[in-house]
Amino acid sequence: MTPETMHDLPARLSQPALRALHQAGITRLEQLTAFREADLRKLHGMGPKALDLLRTVLAERGLTFAGDEAASRGST
């Protein structure tokens, strides 16, 4: 996979995780906000380390996976 196909997904992601996201049509970090973490976890090649990295990178940009904000607001 070339940098052109990864767009702004973290280069530190494993190749299986990058392939899984690409096959799901996800090529930009912001697209992850439309997906629940549980749905991404079901993608072949998407492991806990990849999800942790994506969660961290999203948080650095003030973003979350779909549903994360509602869950945290409901718990307060």
Which residue ranges make up each domain of the chain?
3-74
Pick from 35, 42, 26, 29: which is nearest to 66 by CA? 35
Q: What pLDDT is attached to residue 7?
A: 63
pTM of the full structure: 0.78
Whether the CB-CB separation of 54 and 64 falls below 8 Å is answered with no
Q: Which fold has domain 3-74?
A: DNA polymerase; domain 1 (1.10.150)
pLDDT tens-digit profile, the chain (76 residues):
344 334 689 989 999 999 999 999 999 999 999 999 999 999 999 999 999 999 999 999 999 999 876 444 444 4
Instruction: Enter the DSSP assignment of 13.
Output: S
Whether the CB-CB separation of 61 and 51 falls below 8 Å is answered with no
d(CA 52, CA 54): 6
Tokens of 66: 């779909």
